[in-house]
Structure 1
Amino acid sequence: MKKDILKVGNLVARPGEKIQGNLTLKSDGDYEDVQIPVTLINGLEEGKTVAITAAVHGGEYTGVFGLIKLSREIKPEDLKGQLILVHITNVSAFEAKMQYIGPIDGKNLNRCFPGDKNGTYTEKLAHLISEEVYGQSDFFLDLHSGDIHEDLMPFTLYHREASEEVRLESRKIGELMNLGPVIGSGSDCGSINGMAMKYNIPGVLAELGCRGECNVDLAILYKNRILNVLYYYGLLEGEADEPKAEEVDYVHCMYCLDSDMDGLWYPSYSAGDEVDENQLVGYITDYFGNILREYHSPVTGRILYNTTSLAIRNGDPLISFISNVNDCTCCVNHGLAETHNMDNI
């Protein structure tokens, strides 16, 4: 959806311009104006408009650094199309160094999309990003980095319940990112990935990095994998590295265990470890070390991410699992096993 003028809030980039400034979420009396740092790059030639966001969660840093590197490297004269780069989406949570939720209303931004212009702070922020950023893009990349308390293996997530065209294109973007498992999610929990449903545009939620670390090598990897996507769609000159279907780690199902009590959490394994169905994967004790509950894997598969913090509250995520398509009972029931043409994912 190439436009001569690229406009986000009060920021305007004309063809051949790179503009950096702030998208403002106006105060409603409960909080002061919030300034969201944005880079607009408007190429001289027609092409796709791409939105890339980082730091939807306040404790996820690798994507922030990777996006800064990307924004400084790309010149508008080399670009065919337009880029909207939101460096820190959830500024209040980022500045407060908070995991999951924000300090103003205690809500998780990645559970509030597409937002509500008349809602609470986080709902208004989700609405602003939805309308100003995603609403005018042809596809999107949402860069996550494993929160302060998370250990995870890199992966990309796309919405498998979107239209067939959007679903297949989203999965293709996940393949081009080539970070690890490409996971089709059927969840409609208010995440940014749901933008694929609202605006009927492809996109992925990517995860690279963990435990609140800002790893320079991983940031560079993030930047390079984004460039690979931009090469493929012709926004930049370059040869895209396209993995073959048999080389892609397609995943259909995620299984999550949440805590049902307060206490101390002791995981038994790390992200990427393989576990068997019913295998003990961790336990919760009281503050005196007495075991209150043991948790076992619901599937034979791999640990996608787990919580590393000792403190756990009732309802907190503990650990998430994925199964290989050919080993997953659910995938077998859906007729997805023993094929590399995952059109049904």
Structure 2
Amino acid sequence: MHTGAYSDISWTENGKQIGFFSFPYSIDRSPYYQIKVPVCRIRNGEGPSLLLMAGNHGDEYEGELTLLKAIRAIEASDITGSLTILPAANLPAVMAAKRCSPFDGGNLNRAFPGDPYGQPTWRIAHFIEHEIFPRHEIVLDLHSGGTSMDHLVCSLVERLGDAARFARALELMKSMRLPYGMIADNGPDSPTSMAAALRAGCIGLSGEFGGGATVTRETMALTARAVDNLLQAAGITRGPILWTGADRGPETVVLATGGQSLFVYSEREGWFEPAVDIGDIVEAGDVAGWLHDLEAPLAEPEALTFAEGGIVLSRRLHTHSRSGDCLVNLARFEPAEQRGK
């Protein structure tokens, strides 16, 4: 069976192209409908290759808007090698302003390696992992907290078994010069874009650039600067294009993810009042917040505490919570000897 996935760009042509990756999806109002994911391909001879991707989740805007600016600003004469820009990877989710696709409920960052004959989100995931990622040495997938979460601004890389490759990945992560950089341990079998990049043989980088399904002057500036810094560190551009300020950013403090002991969950319905904010340093036993019950006005709120210490990485923005909702998530500070220093 032919999947029908179609691209109208050339991977080998020099210059700047604007086109689409198109995925057929027959629907009631349009039997020959295509999901048309916009793409920009810029190439100037041989050299390094980098993919910039946003819209993995549809309600995360810093990356989407920054990559639109990059498409307008960068010309072939500005680069060496090749640059692919995918500003709205899961286009149905982007257009619906939702984390997941309205067509199939699919979360693209949980759909890799995908299915070429499956529902739209899984078709897109398969095409990205098998047709796009292998053509690039470096992938940057830009995220933020989305509608329901505020997130510490940080870059991210997966911990790799290959020491030389991991050292290069850390070097590139730090080159973005975000305040914090996260080392994740999801592994090569994860359904995420970073594991897909690992399976495809390229260095996968990611990051969280804000939260709350909005952008601010600060988060947009941080995102532009990080992308510009990476373009230069990768050898794609020779000077700044998106960020012309003199400040290239701080040295990156390296953090690490961990197990369930770093999460605080709601175990019943309630209304959460946080005691901490992102970036706060906490210890084991500290109060994360209180879960109130509006149907029991005289009941004291339940105090929720941290099982271990760390830095507050994210917190839930919606006060009303149900059992299973993550309320607060911590990260650990990575020991220097484990992070390539």
Q: TM-score range by the shorter chain?
A: 0.7 to 0.9
**Percent identity over the alignment?**
24
TM-score by length of 1: 0.84
In structure 1, C-alpha distance between the alignment counterparts of 2:327 and 2:108, rounded to whole Å: 20
Q: Alignment RMSD, CA only?
A: 2.7
Q: Does 1:9 align with 2:16?
A: no
1:342 alignment partner in structure 2:
339
In structure 2, C-alpha distance between the alignment counterparts of 1:201 and 1:96, rounded to whole Å: 30
Displacement of 1:121 after TM fit? 2.7
Within the candidate set 266, 285, 295, 1:259 is matched to 266
Contact 1:228 1:241 in 2 (8 A): no
Contact 2:129 2:197 in 1 (8 A): no
1:307 alignment partner in structure 2:
316
Within the candidate set 231, 249, 253, 1:249 is matched to 253
2:156 alignment partner in structure 1:
157
Amino acid at match of 1:260: E
In structure 2, C-alpha distance between the alignment counterparts of 1:291 and 1:46, rounded to whole Å: 66
Change (3 A) 1:162 1:258: farther
Displacement of 1:263 after TM fit? 3.4
Displacement of 1:83 after TM fit? 0.8
Amino acid at match of 1:205: S
Contact 1:307 1:317 in 2 (8 A): yes
Displacement of 1:179 after TM fit? 1.1
1:297 alignment partner in structure 2:
306
Displacement of 1:110 after TM fit? 0.9
Amino acid at match of 1:319: V
Segments of 5+ residues of structure 2 without an aligned counterpart are 1-5, 241-245
Contact 2:182 2:254 in 1 (8 A): yes
SS for the counterpart of 1:47 is coil
Amino acid at match of 2:101: G
Instruction: Pick which of 108-117 and 286-295 moved more.
Output: 286-295
In structure 1, C-alpha distance between the alignment counterparts of 2:300 and 2:157, rounded to whole Å: 37
Contact 1:52 1:142 in 2 (8 A): yes
In structure 2, C-alpha distance between the alignment counterparts of 1:35 and 1:236, rounded to whole Å: 29
Instruction: Pick which of 63-72 and 284-293 moved more.
Output: 284-293
Displacement of 1:198 after TM fit? 0.8
In structure 2, C-alpha distance between the alignment counterparts of 1:279 and 1:20, rounded to whole Å: 52
Query: How many corresponding residue pairs?
Result: 321
Amino acid at match of 1:70: A
What pairs with 1:13-28 in structure 2 (closer than 5 Å)? 15-27=13-25
Amino acid at match of 1:35: K
Change (3 A) 1:185 1:287: same
In structure 1, C-alpha distance between the alignment counterparts of 2:236 and 2:138, rounded to whole Å: 12
Contact 1:58 1:90 in 2 (8 A): yes
Q: Does 1:215 align with 2:216?
A: yes
Q: Does 1:137 align with 2:141?
A: no
In structure 2, C-alpha distance between the alignment counterparts of 1:85 and 1:275, rounded to whole Å: 39
Displacement of 1:340 after TM fit? 5.8
What pairs with 1:88-127 in structure 2 (closer than 5 Å)? 88-99=88-99, 101-127=100-126
1:80 alignment partner in structure 2:
80
Q: Does 1:58 align with 2:65?
A: no
Contact 1:231 1:238 in 2 (8 A): yes
Contact 2:133 2:197 in 1 (8 A): no
